Amino acid sequence: MLTRREFIKVSGITAVAGGGLMLGGSLAGCGTESPTGGKPSKGTVNVITWGDPQKAKLMGAAFKQETGIDLNLIPGADDADFYNKVKYGGGTQYDVVITNVGWVPLYVQNGLVELLDLSKFPNADELYPEFRTDPRFKYLKEPDQSWAFPDQWGLYGMTYSTESSFKVTKPYTWEDLWRAPKGTVLLDGFYVVDMATTARSLGIPWDRVFSITGKELDAVVERMRELKPFQMPDSTTTQINDFRTKVVDIGLIFSLGFASNIAAQVGQNIATSVLPEEGAVGALDGQMLIKGARNRANALKWINWLGGKQAQEIFWQLYKGPTANKAATEAIIAKGGADAALMKAQGGDQPQLAAAMNEVQQPSNPQAWNLAWDRIQAA
C-alpha cells in the first residue's frame, strides 16, 4: 500500500502547469454558485494535489456521475511544488489546491485563496465538530469561517519493535530514539519532520520547532548526528521489511496505524505504534479555493463532494488514512474487521488528536534548514 505522499516518489510522474490526469470534458467550466443542487454542470475543475492515476480514476468517475463535471487532477511533487504552481499560475490555470494545512498561512499571507463558509457546504455537516470549531486548527479564522475544507490526517508517531532486545516502556518519549542501539533507528523520509521532532526533543516548544535558526538549529544538527547511522527508507514497504528483518528497532514513522500495517503484512504482531508524551508532528490535508478560479462554481461543488462520506470512503479504500469526516469514519468502524481496527489504531475516531498535533509546514528559513540537513548528512 502506498500513501498518497509516496506515490509521486515512486511513479516518476511529472507535471507542468495546466497539465494533468484529464478524465474527459472540455476546459470551459460553468455552473451555479451553490456547492450542490441544480442541473448537472458541464466543464472541468482543475485540482492540484499528490498525483495518483488510481485516485483520479475513482474520484473522477464518481464525481462526474453526481455532478457532470470532469476532474482534471494535476499532480505535484510536494507542498512546496503545489504552492509554487498556485503562486505563478493562479486562478487562470487552477481552481483548487489540496495541501497540508500547515501551509495555509502562507497562501493566506500572499492572498492566493478565498475564505470558505463551511456552513454553506452540506457535507460539512458530516465532519467531526472539532474540525469546524477548534481554534487549534490554524486553517480556521473563526468557527465555520475557514481557509480550507479538512480532509485526511495522520500523526508521525513512534513505532518500536517488540521482538528486539532493546525495550521501550512507558512513559513513551522521543528520547527513546537516542537510547536505541546505533544504526537501528528509522527516520521519516521527509527530513523537515525529523528535524522538527529533534528540536522538540531538545525542549523547544512545538509552536517554534519550524522557526528555529542559529544556535538552536546548530543544536538540532548535533543532536541528529548522534543518531547516525540512521535509516531513511522511501516507502512503506521498505519500512515494514526493515522491522520484519530486524534491521531497525525503533522509528519516527507516519501513522499511528503503522504497527497494524506491519502485522497485516507479516502475519503477526511484531511492533507497537505509540504517541510519545511530548506529542508529535502531524499532517492534515485541506482543500483551498484558489482566488480568481476560472471554474469557481465547479470548484465549490468539488470541495463539497470530496469532503463528503462517499469520497472519504474512496480515500480510505486507497490510502487507509483517518478522515475528518465523522460519517465516513463511523461507517468504516461499523463494518468491523481489519479496517475498523486500523482506523481505531490510528486514532481516527479521536479528532482531539488531530487538533493537538503540530502541523508540518515550511520552515521559516528553508535555506538554513537545507544547509543544516546537508551538514547532518555529511557528518
The CATH number that applies at residue 85 is 3.40.190.10
If you average pLDDT over residues 130-136, what whole number do you get?
98
CB 193 within 8 A of CB 360: yes
pLDDT tens-digit map of 176-231: 999 999 999 999 999 999 999 999 999 999 999 999 999 999 999 999 999 999 99
The reported pLDDT for the residue numbered 51 is: 79
User: How many Cβ atoms from other residues are within 10 Å of residue 132's Cβ?
Assistant: 20
Task: Check whether residue 140 and residue 23 sit in a common domain.
Answer: yes
Nine-digit cell string for 80: 512546496
Task: Check whether residue 232 and residue 309 sit in a common domain.
Answer: no
Residue 25 has pLDDT above 70, yes or no: no
Task: Check whether residue 179 and residue 200 sit in a common domain.
Answer: yes
How many domains, in total, are found in the chain? 2
Task: Check whether residue 87 and residue 211 sit in a common domain.
Answer: no
Task: Check whether residue 193 and residue 319 sit in a common domain.
Answer: no
Task: Check whether residue 259 and residue 293 sit in a common domain.
Answer: no
Task: Check whether residue 250 and residue 180 sit in a common domain.
Answer: yes
Distances (CA, A) of 138 to 26, 114, 300, 328, 359: 36, 15, 21, 23, 9
If you average pLDDT over residues 234-249, what whole number do you get?
93
Per the structure, the complete domain to which residue 301 belongs is given by 4-153+283-355
If you average pLDDT over residues 107-127, what whole number do you get?
98
Using alpha carbons, select from 130, 110, 103, 128 the residue that is nearest to residue 48.
103
Residue 26 has pLDDT above 70, yes or no: no
Task: Check whether residue 47 and residue 170 sit in a common domain.
Answer: no
CB 100 within 8 A of CB 361: yes
Task: Check whether residue 46 and residue 68 sit in a common domain.
Answer: yes
Task: Check whether residue 327 and residue 269 sit in a common domain.
Answer: no
Using alpha carbons, select from 21, 35, 47 the residue that is nearest to residue 99.
47
Residues with Cβ within 8 Å of residue 350, at least 6 apart in sequence:
none
Residue 5 has pLDDT above 90, yes or no: no
CB 283 within 8 A of CB 100: yes
**What pTM was estimated for this model as a whole?**
0.88
